[in-house]
Amino acid sequence: MRAKSPSIYGSEPAAGSPDRTFSVGPHVLTAPKAAAGLHLVATPIGNLGDITLRALETLAGVDLIACEDTRITRRLTERYGISAELKPYHEHNAALARPKILQRLAQGASIALVSDAGTPLISDPGFKLVREVCAAGHTVIALPGPSSVLAALAVAALPTDRFFFEGFLPPKQTARRARLTELARIEATLVMFESGGRVQDTLADLAGIMGERDAAICREMTKLHEDIRRAPLSELARAADTLETRGEFVLVIGPPANDAAMAVDEVDQLLRERLARDSVKDAVAHAVELSGRPRREIYARALELSKERDAEGGDGEN
């Protein structure tokens, strides 16, 4: 369990401050003391080789590294021979840790903020810390680097001129489908995170709501078992049971085409609303006009929905 002690950030540097050095292969390099302030350092999303020299120099040169999970960050620091002090900063201790970090900064300390993987503040708790650090007048320095969002966009083979990052979708299906219906209206490529336990259900919902949009599933990016699949959503949904669900997923969905046909679920909803007050003929004419789908397809679906309504106790009139 992660520590929740209010005293995890002392007001003074730890006794016996470590050497400010880092290793690259057989070479041991000396890092200058980092400038006072909060350094936002991007770290690898998988492959530990994906880190910049500036990031290594900064991590070796700060007084303290604040990280989500010290065990994960220690793998990185040990890989590069960095002996800086590590302290946890995560959603469970943030309210207690922030004042201690601000106190250290007020005393002239240099502190690096890292996430478990990628760029800090992207789906992690760093936003409030950066806001309070800025409000207190301290310097905030960004060290750009790895990002699973940008990496997925780069390999998805989908438009990148405009994109919308959603983060994690709601875990419950009703809320998830409602959010996806809202996202479907955005005229941009969509990027979202999903867990292995929900990715198959999410793909089914995406296909039902967004139709035949091109998409990509990016799993375990930069890691040993990286897997990138590109296909229309319906095809990805049909093959979802073949996915290895262990690992981390980034889903990228292409923007709606200007002449895109309405998704099947939307057509059904439209028909149900019209059949409640119009004849089958009128409901079909309206749905064909709005959906962009073939009349034969719409007519067959309208008959089926009309029969379902009658079986459930509707008035049966068309």
Query: Three-state SS for 288?
Result: helix
User: Is the domain of 239 the same as that of 270?
Assistant: no
Query: Three-state SS for 106?
Result: helix
Query: Three-state SS for 241?
Result: helix
Quote the pLDDT of residue 308.
85
CB under 8 Å to 100, separation ≥6 — which residues? 6, 7, 8, 9, 10, 11
Total residues belonging to the chain: 318
User: Is the domain of 117 the same as that of 181?
Assistant: no
Structural domain range at position 161: 149-253
Residue tagged 């943030």 (tokens): 94
Is residue 194 in some structural domain? yes
Query: Three-state SS for 122?
Result: coil
21 — phi, psi (to 5°)? Answer: -135, 160
Q: What is the token pair recorded at 29?
A: 């390099």
Q: What is the token pair recorded at 293?
A: 């789908």
Query: Three-state SS for 111?
Result: strand
Quote the pLDDT of residue 14.
42
For CA atoms 38, 43, 48, 54, give the dihedral sign: negative
> Around Cβ 228, how many Cβ atoms within 10 Å?
16
Residue 15 CA, chain-centre distance (Å), reads 39
Is residue 76 in some structural domain? yes
Is residue 316 in some structural domain? no
> Around Cβ 175, how many Cβ atoms within 10 Å?
11
Going from the C-alpha of 235 to that of each of 35, 121, 155, the distances in angstroms are: 51, 33, 19
Q: What is the token pair recorded at 156?
A: 């998805």
User: Is the domain of 164 the same as that of 236?
Assistant: yes
Quote the pLDDT of residue 266.
84
Contact present, 56 and 143 (Cβ < 8 Å): no
Is residue 5 in some structural domain? no
Is residue 258 in some structural domain? no
Quote the pLDDT of residue 7.
36
User: Is the domain of 282 the same as that of 216?
Assistant: no
Number of domains in the chain: 3
Torsion of CA 233, 234, 240, 245, to 10 degrees: 20
Reading the chain (318 residues) residue by residue, the pLDDT tens digits are 333 333 344 444 444 445 799 999 999 999 999 999 999 999 999 999 999 999 999 999 999 999 999 999 999 999 999 999 999 999 999 999 999 999 999 999 999 999 999 999 987 779 999 999 999 999 999 999 999 999 999 999 999 999 999 999 999 999 999 999 999 989 999 999 999 999 999 999 999 999 889 999 999 999 999 999 999 999 999 999 999 999 899 999 999 876 556 778 888 888 998 988 889 998 898 888 777 777 888 898 999 888 888 887 644 443
DSSP letter at 21?
Answer: E
Out of 145, 169, 194, pick the residue that ends a domain: 145
Return the amino acid letter for 275.
L
User: Is the domain of 181 the same as that of 238?
Assistant: yes
User: Is the domain of 103 the same as that of 66?
Assistant: yes
The C-alpha atoms of residue 242 and residue 234 are separated, in whole angstroms, by 14
User: Is the domain of 43 the same as that of 128?
Assistant: yes
Please tell me the pTM assigned to this model.
0.74
Out of 85, 113, 145, pick the residue that ends a domain: 145
Quote the pLDDT of residue 131.
96
Express the helix, strand and coil content of the chain in percent, nearest 5 each.
40, 20, 40
Q: How far apart are the first and last CA of the chain?
A: 63
Please give the order of strands across the beta sheet that includes 140-143. 86-88, 64-67, 110-114, 37-41, 140-143
Quote the pLDDT of residue 19.
78
